[in-house]
């Protein structure tokens, strides 16, 4: 690099390509970053915000009403039947929980891998994780039917002689998802503390000062505090990394440990994890691209960030495509007739349209991201992400419903038709998700202010003026 700087002055194109692009563009200062991010929470809520909020919260209420109807009437208001005992409920659960995983990947795995570009997207992605897990948690909770008995899932010693079957993946799932939600909150809050202190110190009203002051816990930014803080953050990242892999593995065990053809496969854990990250990154882009445009955050969430996320979508999408192919190969190679039938039926049976929608959305559409031009234009990126969002829902639907609808006994064969309650409960969860996200961007800094400052060249204690910055600008 040191000889590269001399050449760079001579504006050699080759040397420019070697130099890393800055993570924050236009040489923004530290106070510009504080201002730009904090002001999103300080200005009056713009009109678009109120309009969107009204729409999403109404949608959220629709979901809650459907849930109330379900609970008061019974699960018969859904389109479930024999043999399709799981359909949209569990599809939605796996869909939402998978979306959450991208947030943890960005905040934990990319942190451990020292991918400094994560700093400007991790806060919003972690928030997305929490809200997605909230939406996910609704479905297993309500699909039990008699919801007042969900406490049976908790290991409470009672005089009724009830004890959980700890060898059941369904109980593992309870522990995995609730641990995941709790740890995600802890990780998120730990990351928020120094930024809440920023909001506290900028507060102009008593109410803001009080609430942000409480949240900031009296943070002073002393190095004796940062020392423990950084250790805590590192440990939380180290814990969340295996945790996120375990959560979706356990979710896949719900299927893989059964004996249903199409579910009973060892490829499920890694395949589910890859799919979760794939769908999650698409959802991150789906909500970050509009937020970036509305709040003018292009210097913090740059085209390079979008580019990198698209590459991850391409990678994980191809892994998912590989898994689809491998499932077929194993069905043939394993020689089990039921397994073979399940897969041929998936692609050519009555749900062929769901299967091929999934293939098109998840495997074909991300291939556009081989082209740099496509990764750097907002429109194609957004369109592909919408395809991926839809495709990942179809994937779970295909796995669940096509495996169930052909029972071992042909007399039990059936089709699944969703009722209006199915449809509106699911649609409404988007209302819940977006409402929570809209509240988040109004009340909390949606970009991690202190971490973005730390990736500026002048944050380096060995930075002395501009010349050195060109050498070390890209981080090490």
Partner 1 sequence: MEHIAGNPNAPVFGIAAEVSSAAELYHAAEKVRDAGYRRWDVYSPFPIHGMDQAMGLRKSWLSALVFLGGVAGLTTAVILQFYPSSFEYPLIVAGKPVNFFTVPAFFPIMFELTVLISAFTATFGMIILNGLPRWHHPIFSWDRFKKVTNDGFFLAIEATDPRFDKESTRELLEGIGARHITLIHDDA
Q: Site residues (CB under 8 A) for partner 1?
A: 29-31, 34, 155, 157, 161, 163, 165-169, 171-172, 175-176, 179, 182-183, 186-187, 189-190, 194, 197-198, 200-202, 214, 217-232, 235-236, 239-240, 242-243, 246, 250, 253, 450-451, 453-454, 458-464
Q: Which residues contact 441 (CB under 8 A, 6 or more apart)?
A: 40, 41, 124, 291, 295
- Tell me whether residue 45 or residue 235 sits nearer to partner 1 (CB atom): 235
For 174, the enclosing helix (H) or strand (E) is helix 169-202
In eight-state DSSP terms, residue 157 is: -
Q: Which is nearer to partner 1, 335 or 461 (CB)?
A: 461
The smaller minimum CB distance to partner 1, of residues 50 and 189, is found at 189
DSSP state, residue 409? S
Nearer to partner 1, 139 or 229 (CB): 229
Q: 149 exposed, middle or buried (CB, 10 Å; 0-12, 13-18, 19+)?
A: exposed
Residues 6 or more apart in contact with residue 181 via CB below 8 angstroms? 130, 133, 134, 137
φ, ψ for residue 334 (rounded to 5)?
-70, -20
**Cα–Cα distance measured from residue 74 to residue 92, given in angstroms and rounded to the nearest whole number:** 19
Q: What is the DSSP string of 56-114?
A: HHHHHHHHHHHHHHHHHH-GGGS---SS--SSHHHHHHHHHHHHHHHHHIIIIIHHHTT
Q: How far is the CB of 190 from partner 1 (least distance, A)?
A: 5
Minimum Å distance from CB 264 to partner 1? 14
- CB of residue 176 vs partner 1: minimum separation in angstroms? 5
CA 34 to CA 14: how far, in whole Å?
Answer: 35
Give the Cα separation of 83 and 76 in Å (integer).
14
Candidates 76, 95, 185; CA nearest to 137 is 95
Question: Diameter of the chain by CA atoms?
Answer: 82
Distance, CA of 282 to CA of 465 (rounded, Å)? 39
Residue 214 or 337 with smaller CB distance to partner 1? 214
Q: How far is the CB of 173 from partner 1 (least distance, A)?
A: 9
Residue number with CB closer to partner 1 (208 or 311): 208
Q: Cβ of residue 229: shortest distance to partner 1, in angstroms? A: 6
Half-sphere exposure of 173 (CA within 13 A, CB side): 21
User: What is the secondary structure of 354-375 as a DSSP string?
Assistant: HHHHHHIIIIIGGGGGGSHHHH
Helix H or strand E segment including 305: helix 303-334
Residue 148 or 166 having the CB closest to partner 1? 166
- Shortest reach from residue 238's CB to partner 1, in Å: 9
57 versus 179: smaller Cβ distance to partner 1? 179
Query: To the nearest whole angstrom, how small is the minimum distance from the Cβ of residue 115 to partner 1?
Result: 16
CB of 381 vs partner 1, minimal distance in Å? 30
Least Å distance, CB 118 to partner 1, is 15
Smaller CB separation from partner 1, 150 or 239: 239
């Amino acid at each position: 690099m040191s000889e590269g700087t001399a050449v760079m002055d001579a504006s050699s194109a080759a040397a420019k390509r070697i130099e890393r692009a800055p993570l924050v563009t236009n040489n923004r200062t530290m106070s510009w970053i504080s201002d730009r991010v904090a002001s999103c929470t300080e200005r009056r809520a713009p009109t678009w915000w109120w309009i969107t909020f009204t729409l999403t919260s109404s949608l959220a209420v629709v979901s809650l009403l459907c849930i109330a109807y379900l609970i008061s009437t019974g699960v018969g208001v859904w389109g479930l039947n024999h043999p399709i005992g799981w359909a949209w409920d569990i599809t939605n659960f796996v869909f939402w929980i998978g979306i959450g995983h991208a947030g943890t990947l960005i905040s934990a795995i990319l942190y451990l891998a020292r991918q400094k570009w994560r700093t400007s997207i991790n806060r919003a992605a972690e928030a997305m994780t929490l809200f997605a897990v909230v939406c996910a948690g609704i479905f297993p909770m309500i699909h039990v039917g008699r919801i007042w008995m969900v406490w049976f899932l908790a290991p409470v010693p009672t005089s009724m002689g009830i004890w959980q079957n700890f060898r059941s993946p369904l109980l593992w799932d309870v522990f995995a998802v609730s641990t995941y939600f709790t740890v995600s909150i802890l990780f998120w809050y730990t990351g928020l503390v120094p930024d809440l202190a920023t909001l506290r110190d900028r507060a102009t009203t008593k109410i803001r000062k009080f609430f942000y002051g409480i949240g900031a816990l009296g943070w002073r930014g002393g190095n004796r505090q940062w020392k423990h803080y950084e250790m805590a953050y590192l440990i939380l990242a180290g814990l969340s990394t295996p945790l996120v892999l375990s959560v979706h593995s356990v979710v896949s065990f719900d299927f893989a440990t059964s004996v249903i053809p199409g579910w009973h496969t060892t490829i499920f854990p890694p395949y589910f994890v890859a799919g979760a990250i794939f769908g999650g990154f698409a959802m991150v882009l789906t909500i970050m691209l509009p937020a970036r445009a509305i709040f003018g955050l292009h210097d913090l969430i740059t085209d390079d960030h979008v580019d990198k996320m698209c590459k991850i979508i391409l990678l994980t999408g191809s892994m998912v495509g590989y898994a689809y192919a491998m499932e077929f190969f194993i069905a043939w190679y394993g020689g089990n007739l039921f397994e073979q039938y399940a897969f041929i039926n998936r692609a050519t049976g009555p749900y062929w349209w769901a299967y091929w929608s999934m293939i098109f959305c998840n495997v074909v559409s991300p291939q556009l991201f081989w082209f740099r031009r496509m990764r750097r234009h907002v429109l194609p990126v957004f369109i592909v992400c919408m395809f991926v969002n839809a495709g990942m829902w179809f994937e779970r639907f295909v796995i669940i419903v096509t495996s169930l609808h052909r029972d071992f006994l042909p007399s039990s064969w059936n089709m699944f038709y969703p009722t209006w309650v199915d449809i509106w409960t699911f649609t409404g969860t988007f209302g819940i998700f977006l409402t929570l996200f809209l509240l988040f961007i109004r009340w909390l800094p949606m970009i991690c202010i202190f971490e973005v400052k730390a990736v500026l060249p002048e944050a380096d204690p060995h930075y002395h003026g501009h010349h050195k910055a060109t050498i070390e600008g890209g981080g090490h």
